[in-house]
Structure 1
Amino acid sequence: MKDIKGQLISGVFFTAIAKYANLIISLIVTAVLARLLAPDQFGVVAIATVTIAFLNLIADIGLSATVIQHKELDQKALSALFSLSVYITLLLSIIFFLCANVFADFYGQPELQSICQWLALSLLFSGITVVPNALFYRDRLFKAIALRSLAIQLIGGAISVVAAYKGYGVYALIINPIFSSLLIFAISYAKYPLKFRYRFSLEALRPIFSYSFYQFLFNLINYFSRNADTLLIGKYLGMIPLGYYDKSYRLMSLPLQNITQVITPVIHPILSLQGKDLGYLHNVNFKLASFLALIGFPLSIFLYFCSQELILLFFGDQWERAIPTFKILSLTVGIQLVLSSSGSIFQTAGDTRSLFICGLFSAVMNVTGILLGVFYFESIEAVAKCLLLSFSINFLQTYWLMYRIIFKESLLAFLSCLWKPILFAGLLAILLYLGGLWLSWEQQLYNFLFKSLLFVPSFAALVWFGGYQAAIKQFINRKKTTL
């Protein structure tokens, strides 16, 4: 048990270093590109990126989670999975390349054809990296993953900025994903050189197909749930509104991703060492949800009240129309942050079927909300409001099902861990609202610094006096022993 806790802390530590360094790099690169490129150019690339994400999901077919969960897979089985992924990815890449003109015609964007054809390279290398990359996580090589991620982000971001300055326009936005997929493949395959076999048998893999199948179905449903907004806004509201919406969503996602991607990649590989110990899982889930809520709900309030300053400071005055959408989406950060850890709990418990059910319910709710926002209200702000409502309902449904099916308890047992963070978020909202009434500076930087000075000490006081100081001391002591 102590060894598992130590590995969890060490994994989170190294992942955090890379993610927060990446966050700084990403903010700088995004701020520069936003001043050099137009909103409609970001909208075009957003469409291509969503399509690539879908094809990457098919190429994975649930293999990543399967490799991590089933540690008994030998070299023969791993080579079979690798060979299967190569065949699937090669087929998908060729189809995507040949059908690029279909996407361009559908959205009325001729430039989209060449963008998709170039991104077929990214799809190819990402797909054939699925199994070798999963082995990094299965073997808990979090330090290597962190260093790899940091190097790729730094080099790829620099190349993108130079390309934008040189006048490559929209193509500067696709350099990083192509470069990243190529380098991740090279590093992963050098570490785990699995043999490609022209002919192979999947007979030995039959016992794991059920796990992989439900994981794949969840990934598929989750994709449509998460990307229907981009696809529908781009088609029916236009590329310029999509550019504003995409920039709002990505800015909201930056803190969300750089918190969840510090923790969630570590949870499943580490907890799977413990097996299906439901008592242990229950304890971990409660503590993890408490911690994520402590960060997420106050952060939502801070982003809401700093929406204008953040948009204008990072992207410039030409992105002012993105402020209302970002303000609404920021209120989903706390919900999404807590919800992000639920998938690892279902996976570790071996219940990917329930995970799929949650994903299906979430997809129906999210897509319904997006359809209302696009076709009935016809605005990106309405889409954001509908997503806020659907995320809230999905949150309650997911944890109700988890506690009913896996832990055999009432949802109230889980909700008891949220009252402190929600109470503090409410108090923080009052404080920032009253503080905002006194602001008279025209400079957005001064307004942002003032609100930050209100937020940071208040958040520190909550953590220290709200009963979390013991957890902080324990974390520091454990970190000293693992370094």
Structure 2
Amino acid sequence: MIFMLLAESVVSSGFSQALVQRSEALTSDDTSTIFYVNVAYGLAIYALLYFSAPLIAQFYGEPELVEIARLLFLVIIINSLAVVVRAQLLIKVDFKSQAIAAAIATVISAGAGLYLAKSGYDYWAFVWMLLLRALVQTICLWLFTRWIPKLVFSLDSFKSLFFFGSNLIIAGFISTLVNNIYIALVGKYYNAASVGYFTQATNLTNFLAQFITSTMQGVSYPVLTSIKMERERLIAAYRKIIQLTMLVSLPALIGFSAVAQEFVHLFLGEQWLSAVPIIQILCFARAITPISAVSMSILNVIGRSDLFLKVDLVKLPVTVGTLLVAVNFGIEAVAVAVVINVLISFLINSYFPGKYFDFGALAQLNSTKNYFIAAAIMFIGVGLLGFSEEWYWLCMKVGVGSVVYFSMLILLKDPIFLGMAFRFVKRARLQ
């Protein structure tokens, strides 16, 4: 999975955003050219990983990984076919089609995975589930866009998009490496139980953070790109997106940390309770991950993918250094290292926004202080309720946390939340 994610970053990270960034002047030659480039990348990377599978298996000391990897890496080729059609939906700000495609793919692949697991296919059930999900989602995206590439390859289109896209490809690879190097080394140096706890904690917290990040970036990137030539509007929109991101991110992740024990006990079982401290630590790291992603996204909006790459290069030695120290002190120390790296990354990511838009780290924190205060009080309030194994207790904690968080925003007279609440009430009355 780690090697697949690294390969996916090379195929999907750069040219998709390059197409969106160029949306106002995009031609059919551009889209067709990038389609063929991405497919070629996918095939080349698959070939490389196919022959590297024995080395991957040797690294982990698991011979079974050779066959698993060679089949699972087909996802890279499948996803390379969807890069251009996904970009076209982003340009149109069509998230409904993307959501429907993802939902259909998830339901079908999950059903198939459960059937295979119950039929005794063991870990192959997961492999086929992931393959089927990628295939179904790609087919759905093509059906929604109804786009057919032209039989043309424009060297001019390739050259004009390559500089922007290549920087993002390298940056995406580094970012993926940074985000997953923890799991890679945990798998190498700790026992299977520790790997399971850390991986489960990472998956749960990353899912929440990535869902928020992808949603906010998916909406904001094409919108910000459309006003990139209007500096004042761009800065105002960027500031509001930062605030909206933290309005959602902080209660979701800090709230999940507060109910982690109940969630794990009810949904995963008692055997996973050792993962709770790791989940709670990682929640604090992932709570500010979306805001860092928005700070990086604004660099792409203004066409400075070179700065995007520089920022990721700066973060790499910091991440590796803290990790190499942390692995000597246990699995929870590795989780703490993640928190430290996320905080450092936030400061690094906000440097150029501070330089170009006068909206750096301190300005971002100041504009979102209400959400930090409300989330902190919510966390304390929910924590005082204690622990119970009953379903209703988890529901009660979520309800209490929501009431406390939104009540605090009302008391703090937060303009973003009050504005949203006012529009919601007004719309409800009209209906």
In the superposition, the TM-score normalised over structure 1's length comes to 0.82
Unmatched tracts of structure 2, length 5 or more:
none
Comparing 304-313 with 465-474, which one deviates more in the overlay? Answer: 465-474
Shift of 1:109: 1.0
Aligned to 2:38: 85
Aligned to 2:374: 424
Find runs of 4+ consecutive structure 1 residues off by over 6 angstroms.
478-481
- Flag the 1:312–1:474 CA change in 2: closer, same or farther, 3 A: same
Aligned equivalents of 1:61 and 1:301: distance in 2?
29
Aligned to 1:126: 79
Aligned to 2:342: 391
2:403 equivalent to 1:472: no
Shift of 1:201: 4.4
Whether contact under 8 Å (1:276, 1:348) holds in the other structure is no
Whether contact under 8 Å (1:278, 1:349) holds in the other structure is no
> More relative contact order in 1 or in 2 (CA 8 Å, sep 6+)?
1
Aligned equivalents of 1:70 and 1:91: distance in 2?
26
Aligned to 1:51: 3
Shift of 1:126: 1.0
Aligned to 1:236: 189
Shift of 1:51: 0.8
Aligned equivalents of 1:218 and 1:480: distance in 2?
47
Q: Which amino acid aligns with 2:382?
A: L
The DSSP-based 3-state class of the residue aligned with 2:350 is helix
Shift of 1:66: 0.6
Whether contact under 8 Å (1:96, 1:117) holds in the other structure is yes
Question: Of the candidates 48, 57, 65, which is equivalent to residue 17 of structure 2?
Answer: 65
Computed over aligned residues only, the root mean square deviation of the Cα atoms, in angstroms, reads 2.4
Aligned to 2:178: 225
- Flag the 1:135–1:479 CA change in 2: closer, same or farther, 3 A: farther
Q: Which amino acid aligns with 1:393?
A: I
The DSSP-based 3-state class of the residue aligned with 1:193 is coil
Aligned equivalents of 1:186 and 1:239: distance in 2?
36
Aligned equivalents of 2:347 and 2:212: distance in 1?
21
Q: Which amino acid aligns with 2:18?
A: T
- Flag the 1:460–1:365 CA change in 2: closer, same or farther, 3 A: same
Shift of 1:475: 5.6
Q: Which amino acid aligns with 2:404?
A: S
Aligned equivalents of 2:220 and 2:427: distance in 1?
17
Whether contact under 8 Å (1:66, 1:211) holds in the other structure is yes
Aligned to 2:216: 263
The DSSP-based 3-state class of the residue aligned with 1:326 is helix
Aligned to 2:402: 456
Whether contact under 8 Å (1:225, 1:364) holds in the other structure is no
Aligned equivalents of 2:175 and 2:161: distance in 1?
21
Aligned equivalents of 2:427 and 2:310: distance in 1?
37
Comparing 241-250 with 258-267, which one deviates more in the overlay? Answer: 258-267
Q: How does 1:72-471 map to 2 (within 5 A)?
A: 72-190=25-143, 191-195=146-150, 200-374=153-327, 376-377=328-329, 379-404=330-355, 406-408=356-358, 411-436=361-386, 441=388, 443-465=389-411, 466-467=413-414, 468-471=417-420
Whether contact under 8 Å (2:20, 2:91) holds in the other structure is yes
Aligned residues, how many? Answer: 425
Unmatched tracts of structure 1, length 5 or more:
1-48
Aligned to 1:19: none
- Flag the 1:61–1:294 CA change in 2: closer, same or farther, 3 A: closer
- Flag the 1:412–1:61 CA change in 2: closer, same or farther, 3 A: closer
Q: Which amino acid aligns with 1:418?
A: T
Cα deviation code 1:423-471 (max 9, x no counterpart): 22232233233332xx5x4x25344234223212112313444332222
Whether contact under 8 Å (2:281, 2:336) holds in the other structure is yes
- Flag the 1:464–1:159 CA change in 2: closer, same or farther, 3 A: farther
Shift of 1:478: 7.6
The DSSP-based 3-state class of the residue aligned with 2:75 is helix
Q: Which amino acid aligns with 1:431?
A: G
Aligned equivalents of 2:138 and 2:396: distance in 1?
44
Aligned equivalents of 2:275 and 2:360: distance in 1?
40
- Flag the 1:141–1:425 CA change in 2: closer, same or farther, 3 A: closer
